[in-house]
Chain A
């Protein structure tokens, strides 16, 4: 694929399929992707933890815990950090960046949009094997 390959949007879930703070493992072009739902927003990152390969779709969504001094726990960004089920590494669910080394260790993230079924019926979206109905809304992942 050249760098100029067009992005295609892939329908991967119906809004309502994934409960709030829940996840779903989906596949786009053969790649396993962990899709998360947080308060009406959807986030998609590679399902493979960059540390040791744990399946991120089984991770817990947690807050970002920070501290200005020992004994003080500041919980920020509720449910926006994903904790790998294997070793507990934390990833920003919005960007896929790790907490411990955000510049060099990250889970690949993908842009996600929500569209009406009626809009989807007009294309050019790739529904693959996903059945689409005009009455519902759908989650789409953008991928080259």
Chain B
């Protein structure tokens, strides 16, 4: 661990847990406070990380009497101090973005962002955060971006991997315009607003299938962003995939490029191969990774991905992804060398301002 601490580690995916609606209540206006109280709105943790499921928190990070990841002191002692993290990006996965009512969604997103700013960012200057937005209503989503963009501690915009529609659709473009204008990458995190089944053949039966098949959802979204021309229209925009895994990248590159070669006339604004676009504009968190155990296969995979500057180090705190005190255990030096600090700084313009 000593060598890692010395590098000024940047953790690109930390999950502060909202203890419950009560904690957010001060950040709503009087109308929404009454609505939430009268209707008993609470417990909006996303279905991918049920609070009591083993995957949702490392056992030694669970503290009796509170939800894992809900206390700043725990984050500081269990991750920031323990791993020597110099900057950590908070991605709050509470249910605001998943509400069916756009107004309720916007209100919870706004309260969540305000809570993150006041309860976390104000209290530890190592922390940065993503802005959560009500994706289903572009106008409200852009309002939320504009509200927080002046606060330079918000370094990114966070959306769930699955929502109303494919993210490349033009109705979303004002979000990307705002993101590009403010130098905020768009992060897509594993998770769903549950409007659609996570597979193309309907609903699976198990949490296991949901987690496995989410790699396909990421691929659909990435392909949509490429094909619809988001990267062409917004040349400075960067996209970050959080918890997408990376082992599917070679086949995505091969298939995407092969089909583009034959069918690119349908999308003539895509003037480079999908593989080239991804290497240039998309970044991937390394936790959770899904790498082969066999070092030979691992070398082959890295060679096939053929890019050493697209990976972002992350702990995925407090989710249970690794044990012990080395969050880089098992990751090959070839992936790590730039991921610990250099690539995060290159990905997030706002992160660079303060290190």
Chain A residues proximal to chain B, CB less than 8 Å: 51, 62, 65-74, 83-84, 87-90, 98-101
Residue of A nearest to B261 (CB): A100
Contacts of B261 in A (CB 8 A): 51, 87, 89, 98, 100-101
Chain B residues proximal to chain A, CB less than 8 Å: 170, 228-230, 232-233, 260-265, 268-269, 271, 273
Report whether B268 and A73 are in contact in the complex, using a CB–CB cutoff of 8 Å: yes
Report whether B262 and A70 are in contact in the complex, using a CB–CB cutoff of 8 Å: no
Residue of A nearest to B265 (CB): A65
> In the complex, A15 Cα to B323 Cα: how many Å?
78
Contacts of A89 in B (CB 8 A): 261-262
> In the complex, A83 Cα to B273 Cα: how many Å?
18
Q: Is the interface of A mostly helix, strand, loop or mixed?
A: loop
Contacts of A88 in B (CB 8 A): 262-263, 265
> In the complex, A87 Cα to B255 Cα: how many Å?
13
Contacts of A84 in B (CB 8 A): 262
Kindly identify which residue among B170, B233, B268, B273 contacts A65, using a CB–CB cutoff of 8 Å.
Answer: B268
Contacts A89-B261, A100-B260, A100-B273 hold; do A66 and B233 have CB atoms under 8 A apart? no
Kindly identify which residue among A62, A66, A72, A87 contacts B262, using a CB–CB cutoff of 8 Å.
Answer: A87
Report whether A72 and B269 are in contact in the complex, using a CB–CB cutoff of 8 Å: yes
- Ranked nearest first, the 6 interchain pairs of A and B with the lowest CB-CB distance are A70-B229, A88-B262, A67-B268, A67-B269, A100-B261, A87-B262
Residue of B nearest to A83 (CB): B265
Residue of B nearest to A84 (CB): B262
Contacts of B232 in A (CB 8 A): 67, 69-70
Contacts of A101 in B (CB 8 A): 261
Kindly identify which residue among A66, A83, A98, A100 contacts B268, using a CB–CB cutoff of 8 Å.
Answer: A66
Contacts of A67 in B (CB 8 A): 232, 268-269, 271
Contacts of B233 in A (CB 8 A): 69-70
Residue of A nearest to B273 (CB): A100
Kindly identify which residue among A62, A68, A70, A90 contacts B228, using a CB–CB cutoff of 8 Å.
Answer: A70
Report whether A69 and B229 are in contact in the complex, using a CB–CB cutoff of 8 Å: yes
> In the complex, A68 Cα to B268 Cα: how many Å?
8
Interface core residue of A65, A66, A70, A72 (most chain B CB under 10 Å): A70
> In the complex, A114 Cα to B247 Cα: how many Å?
55
> In the complex, A88 Cα to B260 Cα: how many Å?
10
Report whether A69 and B269 are in contact in the complex, using a CB–CB cutoff of 8 Å: yes
Residue of A nearest to B263 (CB): A88
Report whether A100 and B264 are in contact in the complex, using a CB–CB cutoff of 8 Å: yes
> Least Cβ distance of B84 to chain A in Å?
44
Listed A/B pairs (14) with beta-carbon separation below 8 Å? A51-B261, A66-B268, A67-B269, A69-B232, A70-B170, A70-B228, A71-B170, A72-B269, A73-B268, A88-B262, A88-B263, A90-B264, A100-B261, A100-B264
> Least Cβ distance of B245 to chain A in Å?
28
Report whether A99 and B269 are in contact in the complex, using a CB–CB cutoff of 8 Å: no
> Least Cβ distance of B255 to chain A in Å?
13
Report whether A99 and B229 are in contact in the complex, using a CB–CB cutoff of 8 Å: no
Contacts of B170 in A (CB 8 A): 70-71
Report whether A90 and B269 are in contact in the complex, using a CB–CB cutoff of 8 Å: no
Residue of A nearest to B269 (CB): A67
Contacts of A99 in B (CB 8 A): 264
> In the complex, A126 Cα to B261 Cα: how many Å?
38
> In the complex, A67 Cα to B273 Cα: how many Å?
15
> In the complex, A90 Cα to B230 Cα: how many Å?
24
Residue of A nearest to B227 (CB): A70
Contacts A87-B262, A88-B262 hold; do A70 and B273 have CB atoms under 8 A apart? no
> In the complex, A37 Cα to B208 Cα: how many Å?
59
> In the complex, A47 Cα to B233 Cα: how many Å?
38
> Least Cβ distance of B167 to chain A in Å?
14
> In the complex, A72 Cα to B230 Cα: how many Å?
14
Contacts of A98 in B (CB 8 A): 261
Contacts of B271 in A (CB 8 A): 66-67
Contacts of B268 in A (CB 8 A): 65-67, 73-74
Report whether B265 and A90 are in contact in the complex, using a CB–CB cutoff of 8 Å: yes
Interface core residue of A67, A68, A84 (most chain B CB under 10 Å): A67
Contacts of B230 in A (CB 8 A): 70
> Least Cβ distance of B20 to chain A in Å?
43
